[in-house]
Amino acid sequence: MKIYLVGGAVRDYLLKINVKDKDWVVVGSDIKSMLKLGFKLVGKDFPVFLHPKTHEEYALARTEHKYGHGYKGFKYHATPTISLKEDLLRRDLTINAIAQDNLGNFYDPYNGLQDIKNRILKHVSSSFKEDPLRVLRVARFAAKLNYLNFKIHDKTLKLMKIMSNSGELSYLKPERIWKETYNALQSKHPQIYFKILKECNALSIILPEINKLYGIPAPLKWHPEIDTGIHTMLTLKIISQLTKNASTRFAALCHDIGKGLTPKELLPRHPGHGIAGIPLIKKLCKRLKIPNNIKKLAILAAKIHDIIHDIYNQKPEDILNIYNIIDAWRKPERVKQIALISEADARGRLTLELIEYKQGKYFINMYKFISKLNIKNIINNINLKGIDINKTIQNKRLKLLKCFLKSKY
Instruction: Report the distance separating Cα 108 and Cα 113, nearest Å.
Output: 7
Instruction: Report the distance separating Cα 346 and Cα 305, nearest Å.
Output: 9
Instruction: Report the distance separating Cα 367 and Cα 404, nearest Å.
Output: 10
Residues 69, 133: contact at Cβ < 8 Å? no
Q: What local confidence, expressed as pLDDT, does residue 403 receive?
A: 93
- 123 pLDDT tier (thresholds 50, 70, 90): very high
Q: What local confidence, expressed as pLDDT, does residue 71 receive?
A: 55
Tell whether pTM > 0.85.
yes
Instruction: Please state the rounded mean pLDDT for residues 143-161.
Output: 98
Q: What local confidence, expressed as pLDDT, does residue 388 receive?
A: 80
The pLDDT tens digits for 303-321 are 999 999 999 999 999 999 9
Residue at 173: amino acid letter: K
Instruction: Report the distance separating Cα 274 and Cα 254, nearest Å.
Output: 10
Do the bridges between strand 120-121 and strand 151-152 make them parallel or antiparallel, or are there none, so unpaired?
A: parallel
Residue at 176: amino acid letter: R
Where is 226: in which H helix or E strand? Answer: none
Residues 292, 327: contact at Cβ < 8 Å? no
Residue at 42: amino acid letter: V
Q: Is 314 exposed, middle or buried (0-12, 13-18, 19+ CB in 10 A)?
A: middle
- 76 pLDDT tier (thresholds 50, 70, 90): confident
Residues 198, 185: contact at Cβ < 8 Å? no
Instruction: Report the distance separating Cα 368 and Cα 348, nearest Å.
Output: 27
Q: What local confidence, expressed as pLDDT, does residue 66 receive?
A: 66
Count of C-beta atoms within a 10 Å radius of residue 42: 12
The pLDDT tens digits for 348-383 are 999 999 999 999 999 999 999 999 898 877 777 766
Q: Can you say whether the dihedral through the CA atoms of 384, 389, 391, 396 is positive or negative?
A: positive
Residues 126, 66: contact at Cβ < 8 Å? no
Alpha-helical runs (H) found in 37-173: 84-89, 112-118, 133-144, 154-165
- In this model, does residue 68 exceed pLDDT 70? no
Instruction: Report the distance separating Cα 204 and Cα 132, nearest Å.
Output: 15
The residues that bridge with 106 in the sheet, in sequence order, are 100
Buried b (16+ CB within 10 A) or exposed e, 148-166: eebebbeebbebbeebbee
Instruction: Please state the rounded mean pLDDT for residues 2-7.
Output: 96
- Which residues 6+ apart lie within 8 Å of 117 measured at CB? none
CATH architecture of 1-122: 2-Layer Sandwich (3.30)
Instruction: Report the distance separating Cα 305 and Cα 224, nearest Å.
Output: 19
Instruction: Report the distance separating Cα 205 and Cα 55, nearest Å.
Output: 37
Going by C-alpha positions, the residue among 144, 99, 136, 138 that lies closest to residue 121 is 138
Q: What local confidence, expressed as pLDDT, does residue 360 receive?
A: 97
Mean of the per-residue pLDDT values of the chain: 94
- In this model, does residue 73 exceed pLDDT 60? no
Instruction: Please state the rounded mean pLDDT for residues 236-261.
Output: 98
Going by C-alpha positions, the residue among 222, 225, 272, 232 that lies closest to residue 252 is 232
Instruction: Please state the rounded mean pLDDT for residues 177-186.
Output: 98
- 389 pLDDT tier (thresholds 50, 70, 90): confident
